[in-house]
Each structure stands twice: as C-alpha cells, then as structure tokens.
C-alpha cells in the first residue's frame, strides 16, 4: 500500500497532551479506519495499528517488510484494556504491572480470544505493554482500541528515535506519524514471559534483570540465538536487527581499534568509528561519532540508534565499534549492538 502523502502531526510536549488534542484526534481516526500511524513511546517510535483487526495488523508487516512469524507487541493505556487481550493474568505478571507499568516493560501473557492472531503470529501468547509516553497514551485512548506497534522502521534497520527517522524509512508507506520529539530511552522495552515459572527474560531493555529479580526473585534468561526452524515468542529474537548500511564490527580491546581501522582504510573503504567521549580523540578515521560517555550508559542507550543512522547518512562502508560492560542497561546495549553487527565481535 502507498500513500500520496504521509501526514506529519507535530505535538507540543510543553502543553498538556490528551485524547482531545486536534493532532491526536486526527491520527486516531486513521487508526480507527484500519490504517498505520507511527507514534512516539518512551523507548522508540512504534508503527501502530488496531490490534483487534487482522487486516490492519497485516499492513504493519507489509510496510516494514517484516517476517509474518515475528510477533508484535500490543500497547494499552489502562489496565482494564488488558482483559480484552489475555485469558488471565498470572501472579508474576501482576507483580510486574504494579512495579513497572506504565513503562518500558513488555509482558507475555496467555492470549485471549479478541486479539488478532496476526499479532501473535499464531502463538497462544500475546506480548503487551503500557507505555508511559503521554502521546502514546493519548492516541490509544482516542482510538479506543489496543494498538499493535513494533518499531516504526524498515525491518532489520536501526530503530527510529525521532519522527525524522520514521519518515526516512516509511514515508509514503503509512498514513502518518505523530511527532513527539526525540524518544527518551532509545532502546526497545524489556520483554519477559510470565506464562512460565519462573518467568523467562527474552529481551533486555530499560527495566534490567536486577530490577525484575528484585520484584520476582530469580528468573530464567533465554539463550539469545534460536535455531532456524524455531518460532520466536518475542520480537527481536530471531532475525537480524538494528543494522546500519555499513558493516559493523565490535572490538572489545579498545587499544586494537585503530589497527582494524587502518587495515580497512588501506583497502580504500570509508571507515567510521563508533566511539565514546572518553576515547574519541584517540582515533583517526573517516568518520568518528560518539554515543556518549562510558560513565553514563543510559546516555549511550539514548544515542545508539541515532548514531548508527548518522553513519548511514555519511555513507560509511565499515564501522568499528567499542563495546560496553554487560551490566544494567549495558546488557541491552550489547544485545542491540551484537545483532546490528551480525555477531561480529573481536575479543582480542
């Protein structure tokens, strides 16, 4: 499906946003008509459709070029809406809802009858979260339906953290985007499966393992890699994700980064370095971009996808990237970088 014009509704975050705001009401009408509207959340921009409509949800897969066996996350604005989507709420899920909703936590529940089977990719579970972003909450309220919304980018590319990113990928393919400015967190939500005992962490994100276990006690961690014939229960598990156009390689030994850069430049490739504030002055490359300070991993997470897209804008052939500690939000950062690099990590 193509659109002659993709609407761009700009909302003023300094004003009170609610379901009666003109931009929100107009965007909600498109959702009600079964069309696609991108919306900001506190994590990344999502590509929204009526989660109760097979036809509307199918348009998400077409616009993104997304495999149909990759389930979607459903977004709600009130806990009451959850009852339309699930068969029951496990005790572990109730504890997490009370601790972390609204916020960047997606919970997998037993599926109810109303939710589209296209959303769940035929599984008997459904992934749901309640975003904290006021624009997302207002749009869900105005549309009066739960909204299925994966990241609003072409499948496999870096997730969008601004409306500009959305339009670069999906202009002409969706009805519109509600522009709420840059997103706050920058990486997708944590995903945890509460249909098992103990619950299983499928995707790290802004709510860390340590925070989850402080509420639930010990949880299981799912192996990151699936076999080719296995079907994922959560987005971001099976397929290549978050990848820039240039080939990204991660190098754990910061002192060795320049050596790899020099080898690629000798072969006449345009080489970029994904650096941090502490080390960017140590390198020589065609393009050097910092994702922030190593002492502030929340800042790194916030900047990550924007920087990867900047390398695309500068048409870099090869990107050599620093790595980060695998603790707290660093686990989510490294999860996204490993997928963006296709597993290319040099450990010496």
Residue list for the binding site for L-threonine:
43, 75, 129, 149, 189
Question: What HEC string does 67-102 produce?
Answer: CCCCCCEEECCCHHHHHHCECCCCHHHHHHHHHHCC
| 3-class DSSP state of 290 | strand
Residue 55 to residues 51, 59, 65, Cα–Cα distance (Å) = 10, 7, 16
Nearest to 69 by CA among 230, 305, 286, 310: 230
What is the distance between the alpha carbons of residues 315 and 317, in angstroms, rounded to a whole number? 6
Contact assessment for residue 150 and residue 46, using Cβ atoms and an 8 Å cutoff? yes
Per-residue b or e along 17-39, where b marks 16 or more CB atoms closer than 10 Å to that residue's CB: bebebebbbbbbebbeebbbbbb
Neighbours of 211 (CB within 10 A): 16
What is the distance between the alpha carbons of residues 328 and 207, in angstroms, rounded to a whole number? 9
| Distance spanning both ends of the chain, measured CA to CA | 48
Tokens of residue 201, six digits:
């962490």
Which residues are documented as binding site for ATP? Answer: 66, 70, 125, 151, 159, 203, 242
Which residues are documented as binding site? Answer: 43, 66, 70, 75, 125, 129, 149, 151, 159, 189, 203, 242
What is the distance between the alpha carbons of residues 96 and 211, in angstroms, rounded to a whole number? 10
Question: What HEC string does 96-114 produce?
Answer: HHHHHCCCCEEEEEEECCC
């Amino acid at each position: 499906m193509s659109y002659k014009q993709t609407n761009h509704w700009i909302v003023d975050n300094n004003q009170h946003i609610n379901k009666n705001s003109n931009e929100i009401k107009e965007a909600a009408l498109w959702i009600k008509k079964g069309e696609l509207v991108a919306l900001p959340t506190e994590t990344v921009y999502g590509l929204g459709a009526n989660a109760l409509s097979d036809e509307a949800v199918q348009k998400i897969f077409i616009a993104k070029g997304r495999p149909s066996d990759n389930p979607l996350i459903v977004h709600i604005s009130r806990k009451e809406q959850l009852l339309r989507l699930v068969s029951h709420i496990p005790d572990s899920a109730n504890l997490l809802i009370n601790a972390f909703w609204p916020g960047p936590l997606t919970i997998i529940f037993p599926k109810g009858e109303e939710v589209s089977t296209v959303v769940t990719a035929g599984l008997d579970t459904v992934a749901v979260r309640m975003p904290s972003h006021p624009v997302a909450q207002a749009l869900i309220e105005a549309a009066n339906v739960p909204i299925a919304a994966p990241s609003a980018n072409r499948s496999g590319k870096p997730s969008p953290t601004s409306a500009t990113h959305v339009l670069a990928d999906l202009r002409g393919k969706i009805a519109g985007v509600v522009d709420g400015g840059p997103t706050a967190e920058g990486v997708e939500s944590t995903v945890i499966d509460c249909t098992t005992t103990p619950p299983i962490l499928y995707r790290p994100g802004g709510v860390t393992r340590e925070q989850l276990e402080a509420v639930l006690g010990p949880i299981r961690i799912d192996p990151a890699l699936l076999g080719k014939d296995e079907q994922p229960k959560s987005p971001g598990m099976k397929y290549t994700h978050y990848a820039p156009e240039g080939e990204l390689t991660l190098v754990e030994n910061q002192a060795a980064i320049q050596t790899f850069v020099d080898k690629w430049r000798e072969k006449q490739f345009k080489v970029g370095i994904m650096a941090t504030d502490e080390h960017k002055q140590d390198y020589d490359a065609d393009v050097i971009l910092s994702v922030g300070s190593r002492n502030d991993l929340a800042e790194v997470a916030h900047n990550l996808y924007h920087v990867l897209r900047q390398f695309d804008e500068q048409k870099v052939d090869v990107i050599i990237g620093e790595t980060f500690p695998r603790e707290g939000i660093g686990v989510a950062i490294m999860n996204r970088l490993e997928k963006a690099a296709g597993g290319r990590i040099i450990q010496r």
